[in-house]
Amino acid sequence: MTGEALRAAREEAKLTQAEAAEKLGLTQAYLSMLERGTKPVTEELQVKAVGLFHLPPTALPLRADYPDTLDESGIRAELGALGYPGFRYLRGNPKYNPARLVLFAIDQETLDRRVAEALPWLVVKYADLDWEWVLRNAKLNDRQNRLGFVVDVAEDVVKRRGDVERKREIQEIKGVIERSRLAREDTLADESMNEAERGMLRRSRSAKARHWNLLTDMEAGHLAYVAG
């Protein structure tokens, strides 16, 4: 978050610099320096600003050093905090930018099917993710095929909903990921499959899964939230 973005968010929230500084636990002079760009906006302050100014979760900080991890229960809790229908009972405030959550999920060796099925929903709801950052970090662990498939299924979701504008946005994202598609076979975070299960999926998987060289039976028509 830049100082200019911080100032714009404060003004949008109709708070004076003095009021915002008090709520953020800063002096007005320090907030002024932040807004002018003479001091950096720290990650801790970004998180506070998102809550105070009611900014979207995509304003939460993104770290360049992606190797942070989040286990499956943490991913589930974050999905609930973001409003995913399947985990809506897990209420709270999101702690992670949805872009980071996508990366955490597709980088898992094994992921519960209910969590995996939430990933196209994340793409549909937050198509304004920092996709350059997401793809760059997905490539670090050769996860671009998983990402591409999730985006491809998300495109089907918005098509079924008749959301033409969002479909166009997602198609553009998919086109960028397509250029880095890998030839090697992968799963959608289901590495515990035995060879018999893998063989069955090779024969029965959808054209999308085959295109992205993934062993998965996920399809948009099977997702409970697709009509939502």
pLDDT at residue 77 in the model: 95
pLDDT at residue 47 in the model: 87
Q: pLDDT-based confidence at 64, cuts 50/70/90?
A: low
pLDDT at residue 226 in the model: 81
Mean pLDDT of 204-228: 91
pLDDT at residue 65 in the model: 53
Q: pLDDT-based confidence at 1, cuts 50/70/90?
A: confident
pLDDT at residue 144 in the model: 97
Considering only residues 55 and 65, tell me which one the structure prediction assigns the higher pLDDT: 55
Mean pLDDT of 63-68: 58
Q: Please state which of the four CATH numbers 3.30.420.130, 3.30.2000.10, 3.30.70.1710, 1.10.260.40 is assigned to the domain occupying 3-55.
A: 1.10.260.40
Mean pLDDT of 173-195: 95
- Residue 90 in contact with residue 81, Cβ under 8 Å? yes
Domain ranges of the chain: 3-55, 72-222
pLDDT digits (tens, 9 = 90+) for 80-120: 999 999 998 998 888 899 999 999 999 999 999 999 999 99
Mean pLDDT of 71-80: 93
Is the per-residue pLDDT at 175 higher than 90? Answer: yes
Give the C-alpha separation, 93 to 109, whole Å: 26
Q: What are the structure tokens assigned to 202, written together?
A: 């090779």
Give the global pTM: 0.86
Q: pLDDT-based confidence at 61, cuts 50/70/90?
A: confident
pLDDT at residue 127 in the model: 83
Helix H, strand E, coil C: the string for 15-49 is CCHHHHHHHHCCCHHHHHHHHHCCCCCCHHHHHHH
120: closest CA among 87, 146, 153, 165? 153
Instruction: Give me the chain's average pLDDT, please.
Output: 92
Give me the percent of the chain exceeding a pLDDT of 90.
80
Is the per-residue pLDDT at 146 higher than 60? Answer: yes
